[in-house]
Amino acid sequence: MLKNCTDSLMRNTWVEIDLSNLEYNLSQARKMLKSKTKIAGVVKANAYGHGSIHIAKALIENGIDMLAVACLTEAIELRKYYSDIPILIMGYTPSDKLKFAVQNNITITIFSLEQAIILSDIGEMLNKEVTIHIKIETGFNRLGLKIDSNIISIIEKIYNLKNIRLEGMFTHFALKTKETDKIQYELLMNVIHKLEAKGIYIPIKHICDSIGMVIYPEYHLDMIRLGSLMYGVQTSSKKEGSLRSVMTFKTEISQVKEIQAGEGVGYDYSFVAKKKTIVGTLPVGYADEYMRALTGKGEVNINGKRAPIIGKICMDQCMIDLTNIPYAKVGDEVILLGGNSKDGITLDEVAEKINTNRNEVLSVISRRVPRVYIKKSKPICIVDYLLD
């Protein structure tokens, strides 16, 4: 794949992003939703490592209603390419940066009257309507307007400010238990019902992320925030059906050598050969976010066969035991993560080995690693952040 779609400058460590699989996963999500339920495609953290610009393009082409990011710079990066799609910042935007968000027609999450007043003043100064969502604190205790005796009057004041359009209201499940999630939902809905009693209607109410969408169809409300499921991360219930992995992390063998019993490999000789061993070197390391925690635990796949990581994973390279794959040679393709069920290294497997969640494994892959976008098994675009 790599040699057919790139020039000589691109590294021989890369990720392939299958946009056909992204579209398939999006279609699986839509099967679970009512026709009027909107979808916000979550493309924060460089679209979970998949590349936000091109993932956003694919989502827009497939009729996504909104893009959702974590911070202002992520929103502005997208706005440079896509002028019309609504973009929601789900996290905190510092007050001194709010003007940039308004100038770029970004939808802003707030959780204080003070920021709403600042936004109203900015809107008046720029002669623009400012679209906001209010985040409500229901028990996650991360960000949100705390529910107390003043919350309805605060929201009412925000609603009545000049140049403010209160488009949305949301919270985030802690996903502890069904009972605690239900409490969070009911807390949000209680606020909404009290507002409606005062004639304040919120067009877009949302609480579900990917997991919430799958396990709580009764809580879909007006919009769901679709993140990990789009990228092929399966929920434990698997009610969403079989998903397809969007990312495959690959490299190539850069050297093959034979060492004798007693010879060490890598820093501290954490691996010492007990017998004659064939060692392969790979041009990928923890600076690419092939995580050092996989030392002594990780495996790679070469032509359908597994090879273990030996020695400590270095910043830019790592070593594998090729003794059981004696025909392996320099230039052979190596799968580090992803791939099909026969030749793949599953996301679940990697996350379990290093005791983290699957989203972290995807989202931390370095921008040093080029993204090769494919559709219907054909390469259509390459993004090499260092060269571009």
| Lookup: tokens for 154 | 């605060």
Sign of the torsion angle spanned by Cα atoms 286, 291, 295, 300: negative
What's the confidence (pLDDT) of residue 352?
95
pLDDT at 113 over 50: yes
Binding residues for substrate: 142, 315
pLDDT at 2 over 80: no
What's the confidence (pLDDT) of residue 185?
98
- Average the pLDDT over 36-59 and give the result: 97
Does the pTM of the predicted model rise above 0.85? yes
What's the confidence (pLDDT) of residue 178?
96
- Average the pLDDT over 377-381 and give the result: 93
* Catalytic residue IDs: 44, 267
Token pair 């494994």 is at which residue?
361
Per residue in 288-347, pLDDT tens? Answer: 999 999 999 999 999 899 999 999 999 999 999 999 999 999 999 999 999 876 778 999
What's the confidence (pLDDT) of residue 341?
65
pLDDT band at 241 (very low <50, low <70, confident <90, very high): confident
Query: Phi and psi at residue 211, in whole multiples of 5°?
Result: -65, -45
More confident residue, 144 or 11: 144
Q: Is 266 in contact with 312 (CB distance < 8 Å)?
A: yes
SS3 content of the chain, % helix, strand, coil (to 5): 30, 25, 40
Q: How far apart are CA 162 and CA 123, in angstroms?
A: 8
What's the confidence (pLDDT) of residue 1?
43
Binding residues: 142, 315
- Average the pLDDT over 350-370 and give the result: 94
Angle of helix 151-159 relative to helix 113-126, nearest 10 degrees, comes to 0
Angle of helix 151-159 relative to helix 178-197, nearest 10 degrees, comes to 50
Domains and CATH numbers, the chain: 33-231 (3.20.20.10), 247-383 (2.40.37.10)
Q: Which residues, in sequence order, are CB contacts of 19 under 8 Å at separation 6+?
A: 54, 58, 246, 373, 374, 375, 380
Please, what is the end-to-end C-alpha distance for the chain in angstroms?
21
Three-state SS at 195: helix
Per residue in 164-205, pLDDT tens? Answer: 999 999 999 999 999 999 999 999 999 999 999 999 999 999
What percent of the chain has a predicted confidence (pLDDT) above 90? 92
pLDDT band at 238 (very low <50, low <70, confident <90, very high): confident
Q: How far apart are CA 317 and CA 218, in angstroms?
A: 48
What's the confidence (pLDDT) of residue 4?
44
What's the confidence (pLDDT) of residue 77?
97
pLDDT at 9 over 80: no
What's the confidence (pLDDT) of residue 8?
56
Work out the mean pLDDT of the chain and round it to a whole number.
95
Q: How far apart are CA 229 and CA 138, in angstroms?
A: 24
pLDDT at 243 over 80: yes
